[in-house]
Amino acid sequence: GENVEQHPSTLSVQEGDSAVIKCTYSDSASNYFPWYKQELGKRPQLIIDIRSNVGEKKDQRIAVTLNKTAKHFSLHITETQPEDSAVYFCAAWRGGGKLIFGQGTELSVKP
């Protein structure tokens, strides 16, 4: 079955720096890759996603890149702000609507 590995587990950056979180997946049939942001005590929020027919997608300060050959995808946050501090989860679509999640990255942005 699908397996998703996410790195790093924790990431600390200074405000204004960039942050990059990487995920790899095992099932070459996966074709949809969302990223969720979860603040403490809150629900996971979909922040950006990418489908397998696209290599890169950008939305203001966040971007996602996908390398289908290598089976990895990454989240890039530029000009980080303290409100970006949260746990970020990547996921891969396993088919039938099922998402398999990575282990999560706790991002801390220091002012």
Partner 1 sequence: SAVISQKPSRDICQRGTSLTIQCQVDSQVTMMFWYRQQPGQSLTLIATANQGSEATYESGFVIDKFPISRPNLTFSTLTVSNMSPEDSSIYLCSATSGTGAYEQYFGPGTRLTVT
Binding site for partner 1 (CB under 8 A): 32, 34, 36, 42-46, 49, 51, 89, 93, 96-104
Between 82 and 95, CB nearer to partner 1: 95
Could you tell me if 29 and 14 are in contact, meaning their C-beta atoms sit under 8 angstroms apart? Answer: no
Between 2 and 20, CB nearer to partner 1: 2
Shortest reach from residue 79's CB to partner 1, in Å: 26
Neighbouring C-beta atoms of residue 42, cutoff 10 Å: 10
Between 16 and 95, CB nearer to partner 1: 95
CA atoms of 38 and 11, how far apart (whole Å): 15
Neighbouring C-beta atoms of residue 23, cutoff 10 Å: 26
Between 38 and 78, CB nearer to partner 1: 38
Shortest reach from residue 46's CB to partner 1, in Å: 6
Shortest reach from residue 41's CB to partner 1, in Å: 9
Which residues, at least 6 apart from 39, have a Cβ–Cβ distance to it below 8 Å? 45, 86, 87
